[in-house]
Every structure is written in structure tokens, then in C-alpha cells.
């Protein structure tokens, strides 16, 4: 399958990319849009003159959201496993 060639603009710079399909293209464009919106908010709310600083702040925010989400899922999985163990123990107790 041929890859699609697209251009993504982040912080005023154009980045040529290759994507596998239109769904991946849409994801890339939405991600770039979210980054650009966050850049605008940081520039409006903070006295940041260097784009690199703003991009670093954006990267930190997006990465921390992923990590927090991962930690929450891990916690949910642990809770589910514990509940399954409790139920298994109850069933085993009643079968004896």
C-alpha cells in the first residue's frame, strides 16, 4: 500500500510526513491542531518569547496526560484483578 504524503504545520513550521491511511492523516492533523491551540494558549497566558520553551511545555503537558491516563488504567486493572481474586475465593469457598 502506498503511503500518503501530507504536510503538517506546527508552530508555523511545515513538516512533511508519510501516513498509511486517511485515518492516520486525520489523527495527525487533529494532534497538530491540538498542539497549535496549546501553543497559542501558552503564548497568551505566559511571557514566553522562545518557541522552543513553548513546545517543551506542550510536550510535557501531552506526555503527562498520557502517563496519568496510563497510571489510572493500571490502577483500574489492579482493582479489577483484586475483585476477580475475591470472587474466585468466594466461589472456591462455596464449592468446598
- Taking only the tens of pLDDT, the chain with its 96 residues reads 689 999 999 999 999 999 999 999 999 999 999 999 999 999 999 888 888 999 999 999 999 999 998 888 888 888 888 888 888 888 878 776
- The residues that bridge with 60 in the sheet, in sequence order, are none
pLDDT of res. 96: 67
How many domains, in total, are found in the chain?
1
| Opening angle at CA 33, ends 27 and 65, nearest 5 | 75
Q: Quote the CA–CA distance of 38 and 61 in Å, as a whole number.
A: 9
pTM for the whole structure: 0.71
Return the pLDDT at 92.
77
Residue span of the structural domain in which 65 resides: 4-95
Amino acid at each position: 500500500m502506498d503511503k500518503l504524503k501530507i504536510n503538517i504545520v506546527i508552530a508555523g513550521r511545515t513538516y512533511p510526513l508519510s501516513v498509511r491511511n486517511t485515518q492516520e492523516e486525520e489523527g495527525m492533523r487533529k494532534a497538530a491542531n491540538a498542539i497549535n491551540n496549546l501553543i497559542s494558549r501558552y503564548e497568551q497566558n505566559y511571557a514566553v518569547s522562545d518557541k522552543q520553551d513553548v513546545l517543551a511545555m506542550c510536550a510535557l503537558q501531552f506526555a503527562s496526560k498520557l502517563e496519568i491516563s496510563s497510571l489510572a488504567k493500571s490502577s483500574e486493572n489492579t482493582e479489577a484483578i483484586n475483585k476477580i481474586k475475591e470472587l474466585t475465593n468466594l466461589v472456591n469457598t462455596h464449592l468446598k
